[in-house]
Each structure stands twice: as structure tokens, then as C-alpha cells.
Amino acid sequence: MKSLYQNYFKKNDNSDPILKTLKNVPIFENLSDKELSDVARLTHERTYKKDEHVFKKLAPAEGMYVILDGEVKITDSDSDTIFATLGSGDFFGELALLDEEPRSASAIATLPARLIGFFRTDLLTLMKRSPELGNKILLNLSRVLGERLRRTNQELAKPSQ
């Protein structure tokens, strides 16, 4: 009954680290405090040990992760290329919110890490329960992906050296 209490009697706690972190993620931009706490209620907080895989390349993909604290590297285990090293407040794996393609790279915790998982099934539930909020998130997600596409195009347009 704890969540019943939280739902109706307890005021939104802005000092909640999950809410604070989610607020700064572009995908959850422009959400009201109430909406943000609705999203937070659907997310899953997970802890990972150092060197533990968050997911492996080609594994079935179900959703995105936001780093609460710790460090995660995105890497291609076949070629040992490190694409990015991400820290607190960063997010990865958001493409999986939209399609069911397998992971294109591996994610490994390089330090003990606490992550917030937001999965496709949660997004689908949210779209059913609160379509307005679901649409906001989808629009933000499209913005993030569009921005990334634009950047890739610019990279490609650069004359090769």
C-alpha cells in the first residue's frame, strides 16, 4: 500500500534523485512534475557491478537506460572499439524504444553503476494510460533521433581526409 500512500497523500519530492536525473534527459523534456513522476513510477532502478554487461551486442533490445551514477562504456566487442564512455545523467539504447532490432553495440559498466531502465513495454503502457504524456515522450524521442541524424549527415558531408 506504500504506493497508494505516495499517489494520493505524499507531495512530489523534488529531491528524489531519479526525478532530478530524468528531468535533465532530453527525452523527458517539457514534462510537468506530475508527468515526470508518472514516468518515474514506470521506470526500473537497477544496479550493476564493475565490468558487468548492461546488454550485449545482438541481444534482443527492449529499452533505454539513464545513468543515475557510475560509468558505462558503449563498445563493439568484436572490434574492441569504444564508441562512448557515459557518465551520470547520460542515456543510451533509446532506439530500442521504437523498434525491435537487436542491440548494435554492447554496454558495460566500467564502474559500479546505478541505472534507470525505461522500456518499450513501459512506453506502450504509458501511451495507453496517458496518451498525451506518451505523445510528448515520442515527440522528444523523435527530436533526439532527428538531431542525431542531422549530425551524422554533417559528418558524412565533411570532405574525407
Partner 1 sequence: MEILPFLSSIIGMLVFSFLFTTIFLQAVDSIERYTRSRALGVFLILSTTIMIGVLFIGSFISNLGSQIKLFTQKIQREDFTTSIENLSISIRDSLPDMIANLIPESEKIILIAKNVMVGIFQSVLSLLGSAGSLFFIAFMVLIFTIILLIEYHDFKRSLVRFMPNKYLEVGLRMIYNIELQISKYLRGQILAASSVAILSIMGLFLLNQLGANITLIVFIGIIAGLANLIPMVGPFIGMIPAILIALMNNIGSDIALNHQIFGSIPSPFFVLDIIIMFIIVQQIDNNFITPLVVGESVGLHPMAVMLVLLIGGTLIGPLGMLFAIPVAGVLKVVMTEIIFITKNSHLL
Residue numbers at the binding site for partner 1 (CB under 8 A): 1, 3-4, 7-8, 41-42, 44, 46, 48, 52-56, 58-63, 102, 117, 119, 121, 124-125, 128-131
- Can you tell me which residue has the cell 537506460? 65
Residue number with CB closer to partner 1 (4 or 157): 4
Length of the chain: 161
Query: Least distance (Å) from partner 1 to the CB of residue 42?
Result: 7
Query: Least distance (Å) from partner 1 to the CB of residue 35?
Result: 11
Residue number with CB closer to partner 1 (8 or 158): 8
End-to-end CA distance of the chain: 62
Residue number with CB closer to partner 1 (51 or 147): 51
Q: What is the CA radius of gyration of the chain?
A: 17
Query: Least distance (Å) from partner 1 to the CB of residue 135?
Result: 12
Q: Using CA atoms, how far apart are residues 3 and 54, in angstroms rounded to an integer?
A: 28
What is the maximal distance between C-alpha atoms in the chain? 62
Residue number with CB closer to partner 1 (16 or 147): 16
Spatial strand order of the sheet with 106-109 comes to 53-55, 106-109, 72-76, 81-86
Query: Least distance (Å) from partner 1 to the CB of residue 154?
Result: 32
Query: Least distance (Å) from partner 1 to the CB of residue 149?
Result: 25
Instruction: Choose among 161, 53, 55: nearest CA to 110.
Output: 53
Instruction: Choose among 107, 110, 31: nearest CA to 69.
Output: 110
Residue number with CB closer to partner 1 (110 or 130): 130
